[in-house]
Amino acid sequence: GVARMQVVAVDDGSTDRSGAELDRFARRHPDLCTVIHQANSGGPAGPFNRGLDAATGRYVFFLGADDHLGPEALARLVGVADEVDADIVLGRLVGAGGRVVNQGIYKPGNRDDITLVNSALPWALSNTKLFRRSMLEVHGIRYPEELRSYSDQPFTLRAVLAARRIAVRTDYTFYHAVRRTDS
């Protein structure tokens, strides 16, 4: 529920009035939403880092502006993380609108302790996972802002190497990655 959530939205110099829409949402839900406005950074790393700096919860999850989660996604991911004491939890991610997503990591089914060696994790290094925030903080894990694209892969790789346990869940569609035609 919203009493257990924090939404951090980073307006990265938008020109389509989405920043004003975020402010409107934050005024309606002041205990839920924090909006950060900044000049356009030229890539996702800066906004992700600003969001991490503002986050206060036990876990963080990064959601692309065009993508969406299943209605139970966050509750299920947090439940798994708490149940198996995982630092990272991957929930099944599917493509939408023609986007193709590699499904190799999900084919063996639910697992509680995957690694880069015993799974297809090397081909699933996007940031579309639940991360224990304290692990990120202890290890100083942030996105490399000098990279204008693909900054999620070094971030996720550092997190995977620092994680004590990584779990994957395949029995629910957690994340819908939408294909963008204007990127």
Q: Which of 50, 56, 54, 60 is nearest to 132 (CA)?
A: 60
Which of 11, 152, 171, 182 is flagged as catalytic? 152
DSSP 8-state class, residue 111: B
Contact 76, 168 (CB under 8 A): no
Please state whether 27 falls in left (phi above 0), alpha (psi between -120 and 50) or beta.
alpha
Clarify whether 152 is annotated catalytic: yes
Q: Give residues with Cβ within 8 angstroms of 146, minimum separation 6.
A: 45
| Rg from Cα positions in the chain | 16
Active site amino acids: 152
